[in-house]
Amino acid sequence: MRIFDPAVYIEKYDGMKIMKNIEKAARTCYKSEANISEDSYKRIITNCIKSGHESVIEHEKISVKVFGDLSLMQDIPGHRLASFSNESTRYCNYGKDKYENQLRIIKQPHFEKGTKLYEEWEKCMKTIEESYVKMSNMGGKPDQLRMILSLSTIGEMNMTCNIREWRYILRRHCSASYGHPSARQVFIPLLLKFKEDMPELFSDIEYDEEFPKEKYAKILPLDKYQ
């Protein structure tokens, strides 16, 4: 059994280009293209978001690859104004050589290593792995074996969202009142990255600032995925 930290791999994007393209779409609505200048995008994007005129930010998208647990993979695809491609436990048999005959597990943000809870969780994961591999060797098929997998098992998901949907997802899943710890662990650092690169589009979104920074998922370029 191998235990991993979560990660988000981001497709390369140009935040400035995204914002300037959104400005062009917005100015079509008001026929104010003549007002475009070097930094005119800042005011019009801010005004559009404040007024609820968010259809203009749907023209741009960003794709990421999420490396998290199965609970996250089940929760996030409910946002249907987006595209998702998930690793399928129906077809992947983790008891085979391709997967080194072992399960990959995501380290959980709410179990502290060194505590009795963590020890019991780790023991449970090892028991599940032993049964999974044993049943696989008996001829069990992935569609059968998936029924015993823990939600702590790693899942991989490619997701593509337009900017409006990203705002909705991040506002929802980065909040302490709604976001599950596994979701906050992944999406808060992604939100902070977007805030840095595209402040006019994401600076107004609040997040759980009490969530431990040391538990944040790594944010990496997609071309570093292996």
**Structural domains of the chain, ranges and CATH numbers in brackets:** 1-226 (3.30.1360.170)
Across the chain, what does the average pLDDT equal?
95
Lowest average pLDDT, out of 5-14, 34-43, 81-90, goes to 81-90
Whats the size of the chain, residue-wise?
226
Asked whether the beta carbons of 26 and 127 are under 8 A apart, the reply is no
Rounded Cα–Cα distance for residues 202 and 52 (Å): 14
- For the segment 54-77, the average pLDDT, to the nearest whole number, is 94
Q: Is the pLDDT of residue 226 over 80?
A: no
Burial of 101 (0-12, 13-18, 19+ CB in 10 A): middle
- Residue identified by tokens 């009795």 is 116
Lowest average pLDDT, out of 69-83, 123-137, 141-155, 192-206, goes to 69-83
Q: What pLDDT was estimated at residue 93?
A: 93
pTM of the model: 0.92
Q: What pLDDT was estimated at residue 128?
A: 97
Q: What pLDDT was estimated at residue 112?
A: 92
Q: What pLDDT was estimated at residue 153?
A: 97
| Alpha-carbon dihedral 166, 167, 171, 174, rounded to 10 degrees | 40
Burial of 106 (0-12, 13-18, 19+ CB in 10 A): buried
Band (pLDDT 50/70/90 cuts) for residue 75 is: confident
Band (pLDDT 50/70/90 cuts) for residue 78 is: confident
- For the segment 124-149, the average pLDDT, to the nearest whole number, is 96
Q: What pLDDT was estimated at residue 167?
A: 97
Task: Say how many C-beta atoms besides its own lie within 10 A of residue 119's C-beta.
Answer: 12
Strand pairing class (154-162; 82-86):
antiparallel
Q: What pLDDT was estimated at residue 98?
A: 86
Q: What pLDDT was estimated at residue 77?
A: 81
Q: What pLDDT was estimated at residue 92?
A: 93
